[in-house]
Every structure is written in structure tokens, then in C-alpha cells.
């Protein structure tokens, strides 16, 4: 018989294999049983190839719920034609072991056919926040994300869903769709996990050799310098241009963008100065690109071009950078 857990309880490492379900019916049956016992349920959606960043989200989920479900699904609809859907690492057996080690209760690993059955014809599209940055660089990407996340949230019926702040634009897209569609779930963002060199942990880091990882680690350092310059009162446009030059000098062949943007709607800030704050590092990668973000806690003056302050209080800014397909080593 299962013992009802308390919030924040870290389950002991399991000596039995993690239960895996592959159908919506099985998932809902288990979640229904937990809720009938008075337990809150958290969902941690992933695409697998798990690392410490994912496991930290599971631990965070246990602060919000007694039961945690992790999903592993490599979603084809969020990959472009020239992207790495076929090559994306799939390591379900290892993922299940790692999840069991941190006390996860259930792995939901649906097939493509279960998620998108014959005749599937619906798409969820979130306007506004999905359009700049990765939305402009990867047409259709966030439609795929919004659709699969909507399905996962509705399939699981969880009380809480935890997503990494590393994928910051994705997190804002998800928060918007949950508000707009009245999905009854609390969305929680988990801090970005980094290695000793400051490189954000990512399943796609496996694509990089040692030299490329050294270059990629400069991404976070360059953004920290940019935040310091913004805090010192330098104009946004000058800081963005300097960051591009620094990345190219660090070994990046091409920089797609360096942009300072608002924290919720991702509105473009600048070219004027921002007012002070403190940094909060983050990163958002994907192959063959990677990105990093720094939350500077910086506020633009109310007269800043292209920015409409809410309630007379301007919002903080984020600096974003993307790493190109190839690194100059």
C-alpha cells in the first residue's frame, strides 16, 4: 500500500524499476488514484536524455506536490525540416534509472501515434511572446511546443507543471497559453543548472567536442559583462553590439542576435539606457544553435523607445544570445 507523502518529502531511492506508462488512459488512471487519496501531482515534461538540470526540476516538483510524473517525448512538431529530430539522443532506460534515483513516481513515455493519432488536425499557436528570438529564427517551433505542452497538461491533469528557466521564451509561451486557455495548473520555473565552466546543462551539449564546449562557455561570461555594462548606464544598443564583437572574438563564427528584452512579453528594449539591478543567469539552447540569457533586473526609463511601461513602472530586461551552427576553433 502506498504511504501518503508530505510536501517537500524526498522519497528514498527506489530499489524497483520506475513504472512506465505509454497511454493517456494509463496516465490518467494513476493520477486519478493519487488525487483520490488527497495527493497533489506535479508533471515535469522533458524530451529525455536527462541530466542534472532535469533532475533538479523533479526535486523542485516535490516541493509542490506529493507525487511527480516525468514525461519523455521527443516531439516531432517542434523540429524544423533541417533540424535534429532523428539525431536527438534517446536514452529511455538510463532516463528511467535517473528518475528512480531522485524518487520520481511515474514515467510517461507516449509514442508519436499516441500523442498524434491518425487524423490529428489541431494546432495551438500563441501570438506575441512566441514571435521574436527563436520564434523568428525557427518558424513553427513554438506552435509545436504549445501544442504538445497543451496536450501533456490536459492528459496528465496535474496540479503543478515544472519547466526550466533555461528555455526562457518557451516558459513565457507556456505561461501565456495556460492563462489564455484556462488550464487549471500552476506553472513553476526552475533555475538553470550549469557546469563548472558556466555552460548551461543541455541534452544537446553531447553534440559538442571539448574545444567547442570551451568556446560555448564564453556565452555566459559575455552576457555577465553585458549586464555589468547595462548596470553602469551604457546604452543598450552599444552593449548589444559590444557583446556580438566579444562573442566573435571568443570563437563564434556567427551570432544570430544579442537583444535586451522585457521579462514577460519579451518586448524589445533600448536603444537608450537602463536603470540599475542585479544579474540572474540563465540559458536556452537547441541544436545546432545555443542561447543564453541574463536577467539583469534592469529598468528602462519610461521614455525608452519601443517600451510601454505598465502602471508607470518599467519592467526588467533580458539579454539573449544565440550560438551559431559552427564554432570557430
Q: What is the secondary structure of 21-65 as a DSSP string? A: E-SHHHHHHHHHHHHHTT--EEEEEE-S---HHHHHHHHHHTTT-
- End-to-end CA distance of the chain, in Å? 57
Active site residues: 54
Q: Going by C-beta distance under 8 Å and a sequence separation of 6 or more, which residues neighbour residue 311? A: none
Asked if the peptide bond before residue 271 counts as cis, ω within 30 degrees of 0, the response is: yes
| CA pair distance 156, 31, nearest whole angstrom | 7
What's the CA gap between 298 and 318, in Å, rounded? 8
To 10 degrees, the CA torsion angle through 191, 192, 196, 202? 150
List Cα–Cα distances, 67 to 59, 109, 258, 310, in angstroms.
Answer: 11, 17, 40, 38
Q: CB neighbours (10 Å) of residue 295?
A: 20
Block residue for cell numbers 533538479? 56
Radius of gyration, CA atoms only, the chain: 20
Ramachandran region, residue 291 (left: φ > 0; alpha: ψ -120 to 50; beta: rest): beta
CB atoms within 10 A of CB 135: 20
Residues 226 and 258 sit within 8 Å (Cβ to Cβ): yes
Amino acid at each position: 500500500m502506498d504511504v501518503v507523502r508530505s510536501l517537500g518529502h524526498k522519497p528514498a531511492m527506489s530499489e524497483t524499476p520506475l513504472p512506465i506508462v505509454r497511454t493517456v488512459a494509463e496516465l490518467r488512471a494513476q493520477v486519478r488514484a493519487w488525487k483520490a487519496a488527497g495527493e497533489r501531482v506535479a508533471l515535469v515534461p522533458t524530451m529525455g536524455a536527462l541530466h542534472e538540470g532535469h533532475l533538479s526540476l523533479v526535486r523542485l516538483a516535490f516541493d509542490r506536490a506529493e507525487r511527480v510524473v516525468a514525461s519523455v517525448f521527443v516531439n516531432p512538431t517542434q523540429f524544423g525540416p533541417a533540424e535534429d529530430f532523428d539525431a536527438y539522443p534517446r536514452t529511455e532506460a538510463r532516463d528511467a534509472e535517473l528518475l528512480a534515483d531522485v524518487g520520481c513516481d511515474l514515467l510517461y513515455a507516449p509514442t508519436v501515434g499516441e500523442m498524434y493519432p491518425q487524423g490529428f488536425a489541431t494546432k495551438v499557436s500563441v501570438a506575441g511572446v512566441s514571435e521574436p528570438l527563436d520564434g523568428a529564427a525557427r518558424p513553427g517551433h513554438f506552435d509545436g511546443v504549445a501544442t504538445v505542452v497543451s496536450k501533456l497538461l490536459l492528459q496528465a491533469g496535474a496540479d503543478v507543471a515544472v519547466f526550466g528557466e533555461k528555455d526562457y521564451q518557451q516558459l513565457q509561451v507556456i505561461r501565456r497559453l495556460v492563462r489564455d486557455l484556462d488550464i487549471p495548473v500552476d506553472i513553476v520555473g526552475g533555475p538553470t543548472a550549469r557546469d563548472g565552466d558556466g555552460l548551461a546543462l543541455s541534452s544537446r551539449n553531447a553534440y559538442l567536442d571539448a574545444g567547442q564546449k570551451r568556446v560555448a562557455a564564453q556565452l555566459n561570461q559575455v552576457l555577465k559583462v553585458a549586464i555589468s555594462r547595462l548596470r553602469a548606464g551604457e546604452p543598450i544598443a552599444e552593449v548589444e553590439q559590444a557583446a556580438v564583437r566579444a562573442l566573435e572574438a571568443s570563437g563564434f563564427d556567427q551570432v544570430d542576435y544579442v537583444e535586451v528584452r522585457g521579462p514577460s512579453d519579451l518586448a524589445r528594449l533600448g536603444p537608450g539606457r537602463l536603470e540599475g539591478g542585479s544579474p540572474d543567469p540563465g540559458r536556452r539552447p537547441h541544436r545546432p544553435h545555443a542561447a543564453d540569457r541574463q536577467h539583469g533586473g534592469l529598468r528602462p526609463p519610461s521614455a525608452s523607445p519601443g517600451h510601454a511601461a505598465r502602471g508607470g513602472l518599467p519592467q526588467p530586461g533580458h539579454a539573449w544570445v544565440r550560438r551559431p551552427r559552427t564554432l570557430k576553433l
